[in-house]
Amino acid sequence: MASSCVHAFPVFSRPLSANQIKLVEMYISRSPDATPFAKRTFIWLLRKSQGTRAVCVSFPAKLNRYGDQALDGFHSIVSVGGTTRIDVFLGLLNTSVLPSHHSGGYPDGSNEFTVPDGFTFWLSDTPYDNSAEHLSLNIEEINSISLHPEST
């Protein structure tokens, strides 16, 4: 008899409401620190989290063109050297959501994080959260996200 296993992914201790998600999307869309692709990647992760659960996505080394764009922008959005400072904005919303990024990834759906190939991006309560839901990278879906018209 086969047993089924349901994996419960971590949830944010202080989640985002639907209205807060919209505010974060607008804030990211208007960021002067990131490329449109990096903004779309962040928004894609945020939507996938539904404001409630920890998620991550890895960009394999073979997609460095996309990974580099996402990494540069994602880093600029969270960096104290940038003007966006998404961590401060999220703190003002009283959420526990914490964006993080690192070189390396989860190859072929593995739960083993390996360095140095590729890049991984997380939205979680914990930096580099290995228990976050590992999303399948979907470049077409990311590129289809419309940024707010007054941004880009």
Tell me, yes or no, whether 71 lies in a domain.
Answer: yes
> What confidence tier does 135 reach under pLDDT thresholds 50, 70, 90?
very high
Long-range pairs, 17-23, Cβ under 8 A, ≥24: 17/51, 18/51, 20/51, 20/93, 20/95, 21/46, 21/47, 21/51, 23/93
Domains: count for the chain? 1
CA distance 66 to 143: 11
What's the pLDDT score for residue 56? 92
Give the pTM: 0.86
Phi and psi for 113 in degrees, rounded to 5?
-80, 125
> What confidence tier does 5 reach under pLDDT thresholds 50, 70, 90?
very low
Tell me, yes or no, whether 11 lies in a domain.
Answer: no
- Residue whose tokens read 């003007």: 83
The CA-atom distances, in angstroms, between 80 and each of 7, 86, 88 are: 35, 9, 10
Tell me, yes or no, whether 2 lies in a domain.
Answer: no
Tell me, yes or no, whether 135 lies in a domain.
Answer: yes
Domain ranges, residue 99: 18-143
Tell me, yes or no, whether 148 lies in a domain.
Answer: no
Tell me, yes or no, whether 83 lies in a domain.
Answer: yes
Tell me, yes or no, whether 66 lies in a domain.
Answer: yes
Tell me, yes or no, whether 8 lies in a domain.
Answer: no
What's the pLDDT score for residue 115? 66
Percent of the chain with pLDDT over 90: 52
